[in-house]
């Protein structure tokens, strides 16, 4: 393999108050004890022209091994990635579809839950099981979801003997299909919980549970949200594979963005040597990231319910990882920014840090009407049906000119997961894949809870 990296990679917290860890402990820990997010101490370098494999799972092992080398051998990682991705319905795994001249969709929805989260979650499940079997331990995974993370996690871990999964999702803020994918599983270790609040409320519950060291230790908490570095790492791969397929040295990506994990993976790929031109942060009307890049002020507003619900987020957790880099890895600065966010619901990004971010990222916000018009326009011209999240990304991509080269929009979900929004846009219901039809006909089983940490802790403790 033509990679350059430390033989044993260490991970550091963005807040600087937790000890350095190796990959296995980062995987199982999720959020750092100081409230920060783990990042590699150094970025490995890789020559994408010298990737020797063609099968997706083998390319994944080649790209990911530097991050995991202290935990699993290269040959064993190939076996893990093969197991993780055997349930995908297309050999290409992440095929490119050309819609217009120099504009492509990278289809990331051919996994079991028809969303891009499958790429990371299925691999995460393999890695968790490997570690926990070796340690003869069990773990309690908690996660917040705006839709697709929860269903992907439940699908990935539903047969695990070592993991109990508690997923918090916001009442009325996920599509019916997304909810049923979470609430119809037969797994006895799966606990979907509907929270009377927003996604940000669900995410805050997860963070508060992790900060309770006594409870954390008692139930052995682990995380599968994109606060877990393993999630980000797995998503790096399809930037490399798509870039390689295009055979063009000038490529930009437009990424439907909520919690900032998927687009951060593209930025990491760039740090590893992939010569990406620009990364477009495509937001819906929940435009905190677009506003932040334009004004330098990261200011929390009330989350709006939209037809692209997985992006209805105000606190983009993974943005902290980028800020850490933008502030030259000064953890004290990040600590201060996060304190300001907690106390004042906003912070100001310093000029040098903002310029650092703007060097790689562009950002734009797409309205509900623009999203529907994009779905309609693309269908009328090409016959291709976009889901509303991918439509946000594709609409945003149209603001990029020829200087950005070939433009790839990440297709994050199958349109059948959002049939109401699609039908409202093109007056046609998208075809429902067989694997989804089975889910829709099952009986739902889930809990409903208020935002009450004491009750939630008790529910988790008595359920495992």
Where do the H-state alpha helices sit in 90-174? 117-135, 148-157
- Range 100-103, long-range pairs (CB < 8 A, 24+ positions): 100/381, 100/382, 102/402, 102/405, 102/406, 102/407, 103/394, 103/397, 103/406, 103/407, 103/409
3-state secondary structure of 3: strand
DSSP state for residue 366 in the 8-state scheme: -
Where do the H-state alpha helices sit in 137-198? 148-157, 176-183
202 phi/psi in degrees, rounded to 5:
-60, -45
Residue that is written with structure tokens 């502030």 in the block: 327
Which of these is catalytic: 17, 52, 117, 138? 117
CA angle 216, 218, 221 (to 5 degrees): 40
3-state secondary structure of 32: coil
Q: Is 117 noted as a catalytic residue in this protein?
A: yes
65 phi/psi in degrees, rounded to 5:
-55, -40
Residue that is written with structure tokens 């691999």 in the block: 123
> Nearest Cα to 227, choosing from 365, 357, 32, 435?
32
Q: Which two tokens stand for residue 218?
A: 């008692």
> Nearest Cα to 305, choosing from 183, 197, 414, 224?
197
Residue that is written with structure tokens 């530097």 in the block: 66
8 Å CB contact between 41 and 13: no
CA distance 173 to 312: 8
8 Å CB contact between 194 and 448: yes
8 Å CB contact between 177 and 444: no
Active site residues: 117
């Amino acid at each position: 393999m033509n990679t350059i990296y430390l033989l044993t990679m260490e991970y550091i917290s963005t807040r600087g108050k937790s000890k350095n860890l190796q990959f296995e402990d980062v995987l199982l820990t999720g959020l750092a004890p100081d409230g920060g997010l783990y990042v590699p101490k150094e970025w490995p370098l890789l020559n994408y022209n010298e990737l020797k494999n063609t099968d997706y799972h083998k390319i994944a092992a080649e790209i990911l091994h530097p991050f995991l080398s202290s935990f699993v051998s290269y040959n064993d990682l190939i076996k893990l990635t093969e197991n993780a991705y055997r349930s995908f319905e297309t050999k290409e795994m992440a095929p490119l579809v050309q819609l217009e001249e120099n504009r492509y969709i990278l289809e990331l929805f051919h996994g079991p839950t028809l969303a891009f989260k499958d790429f990371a979650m299925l691999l995460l499940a393999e890695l968790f099981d490997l570690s926990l079997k070796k340690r003869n331990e069990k773990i309690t995974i908690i996660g917040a979801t705006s839709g697709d993370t929860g269903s992907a996690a439940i699908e990935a871990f539903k047969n695990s003997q070592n993991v109990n999964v508690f997923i918090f999702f916001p009442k009325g803020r996920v599509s019916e299909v997304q909810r049923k994918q979470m609430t119809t599983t037969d797994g006895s270790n799966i606990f979907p919980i509907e929270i009377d609040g927003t996604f940000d409320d669900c995410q805050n519950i997860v963070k508060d549970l992790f900060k309770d060291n006594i409870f954390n230790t008692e139930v052995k908490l682990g995380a599968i949200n994109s606060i877990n570095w393993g999630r980000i790492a797995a998503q790096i791969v399809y930037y490399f594979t798509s870039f390689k397929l295009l055979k063009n040295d000038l490529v930009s990506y437009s990424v439907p963005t909520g919690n900032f994990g998927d687009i951060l993976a593209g930025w990491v790929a760039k740090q590893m040597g992939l010569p990406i031109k620009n990364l477009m942060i495509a937001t819906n009307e929940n435009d905190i990231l677009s506003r932040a890049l334009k004004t330098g002020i990261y200011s929390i507003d009330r989350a709006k319910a939209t037809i692209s619900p997985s992006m209805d987020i105000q606190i983009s957790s993974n943005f902290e990882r980028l800020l850490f880099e933008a502030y030259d890895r000064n953890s004290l600065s990040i600590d201060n920014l996060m304190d300001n966010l907690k106390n004042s619901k906003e912070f100001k990004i310093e000029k040098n840090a903002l310029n650092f971010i703007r060097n790689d990222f562009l950002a734009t916000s797409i309205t509900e009407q623009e999203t529907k018009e994009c779905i309609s326009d693309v269908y009328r011209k090409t016959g291709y049906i976009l889901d509303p999240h991918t439509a946000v990304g594709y609409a945003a991509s149209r603001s990029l000119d020829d200087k950005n080269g070939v433009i790839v929009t990440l297709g994050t979900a199958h349109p059948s997961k959002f049939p109401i929004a699609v039908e409202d846009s093109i007056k046609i219901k998208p075809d429902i894949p067989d694997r989804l039809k089975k889910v829709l006909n099952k009986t739902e089983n889930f809990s409903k809870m208020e935002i009450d940490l004491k009750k939630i802790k008790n529910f988790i403790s008595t359920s495992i």
